[in-house]
Amino acid sequence: MKRLLLLLFSCVLFLQPYCQAQPLTSEESPVTLSTATGDIKGRLLLPANATTCPVVLLIAGSGPTDMDGNNPMMKNNSLKFLAEGLAQKGIASLRFDKRGIAGSAAAGKEESKLRFEDYVNDVTGWIDFLAKDKRFTDITVAGHSEGSLIGMLACQSRPKVKSFISIAGAGSPAYEIIEKQVAAQMMPESIRKEVADINRSLRNGKEVAQVPAYLQALFRPSVQPYLISWYKYNPQTVIASLKMPVLILQGKNDIQVKEEDAMLLKKASPKAELVLIDKMNHVLKDCESTTPQQQMAVYNNPSLPVNAALMNATVRFVNNSK
């Protein structure tokens, strides 16, 4: 049961393939965002010979995911390939390691001091960084998975952002997702009730002192302040507040975030464009089925290109949104 709950927490924590074998005409350089707790490291990828161009700020998803879309257990290069594909189409990008992860490990806080807003503030810092660079004609923020909510929140306070892209973004608050995943794991009713009771306290801003050993992975005392800060935000409410063009991208073979999530976001933001992508899974690549075996093979394939429809929709939106 403990292993099952750890796996649960890690989840919360094609047309013709787009050819990564094409010669890359781009220039990449390291960039740094200084924060009170340390430096956030990123990579700025520019189309070769471009004097001015649009730029996309790419935000990785939950857990120990780095700027390329990889983590210590799985390497897929999804965000790296997305950035390279944008450069081939004349669009710059900036991607970065989240605080506490990979190149930005030194900027990490103690778990008990980390708040969801720390990630949002890092993104607003990167937006300000890009806004000062005269080479960029406009800024699009694109968040993947948990990065979708982080990106939405950052856009609320940065009117200089031209447009926003949600890629496999959750449509429900985090506490609802956790409770649904617990139910999907066929946990006993008693455990589901305990999870709901703890979540209710956290939603009200109250930490829970007594947590059963089998729920420590989810609700250990040091992570509760972070959960309280995270639970405050409903993606539907946040996306509805955005005053800019919005694109919602969702893969039909995603086993972590479902089409229903995309539909919830679309309902909350009726003017948003919704694109459901055949075969695409959570790491933005083609997967023929939703079986765990095939999904894991794709999750661990660092050479498989990202889905072509994803690339095409992103490029079109960045170039055409007003």
Q: pLDDT of 112-134, one tens digit each?
A: 999 999 999 999 999 999 999 99
Residues 26 and 62 in one domain: yes
Are residues 258 and 273 both part of a single domain?
yes
In which element (H, E) is residue 146 found? Answer: helix 146-156
Domain membership flag for residue 38: yes
Assign residue 105 the CATH number of its domain: 3.40.50.1820
The pLDDT value given to residue 184: 86
> How many residues are there in the chain?
322
What is the average per-residue pLDDT within 87-96? 98
Looking at the 3D structure of the chain, how many domains does it have? 2
Please check the confidence at residue 3 and state whether its pLDDT lies above 80: no
Last residue of a domain, one of 190, 219, 248: 219
Per-residue pLDDT band at 8 (split at 50, 70, 90): very low
Query: Do residues 193 and 53 share a domain?
Result: no
Give the global pTM: 0.91
Instruction: Taking residues 41-66, report their average pLDDT.
Output: 96
Q: Are residues 55 and 120 in the same domain?
A: yes
User: Can you spell out the DSSP letters for 80-117?
Assistant: HHHHHHHHHTT-EEEEEPPTTSGGGGGGPPPGGG--HH
What mean pLDDT is predicted for residues 17-42?
77
Phi, psi of 152 (to 5 degrees): -55, -45
pLDDT at 111: 96
Residues 137 and 45 in one domain: yes
Q: Check whether residue 161 and residue 294 sit in a common domain.
A: yes
Quote the pLDDT of residue 322. 65
pLDDT over 90 (residue 217): yes
pLDDT over 60 (residue 258): yes
The amino acid sitting at 260 is: E
Question: Containing domain of residue 99, as a range?
Answer: 17-173+234-320
Residues 26 and 157 in one domain: yes
- Do 200 and 250 fall within a single domain? no
Cα 143–Cα 145–Cα 151 angle in degrees, nearest 5? 30
Same domain, 278 and 134: yes
Separation between Cα atoms, residue 302 and residue 319, nearest integer Å: 28
Q: What is the pLDDT of residue 139?
A: 99
Among residues 219, 245, 274, the one where a domain terminates is 219
Q: Are residues 151 and 187 in the same domain?
A: no
Q: What is the mean pLDDT of residues 75-95?
A: 98
224 domain-assigned: no
